Amino acid sequence: MKNQEKDLKNEDTGSTRRKLTKDELTALCRRVEAHRQKFREYTRMVE
């Protein structure tokens, strides 16, 4: 699961080649944040 987070971060840095609109940027941030929250909940359940 950790690798997935790394991939997300790499996607963010790679996408700067193409200018993102503000809307796309906020949508991406929300998606990443939602993913992080789900990941935290999952790790809590596993422990």
Quick: pLDDT tens for 1-47.
566 555 555 555 555 566 778 899 999 999 999 999 999 999 999 87
pLDDT at 38 (0 to 100): 94
**Pick from 42, 32, 31: which is nearest to 1 by CA?**
42
pLDDT at 36 (0 to 100): 95
Contacts 24+ apart (CB under 8 A), 37-41: 39/1, 39/5
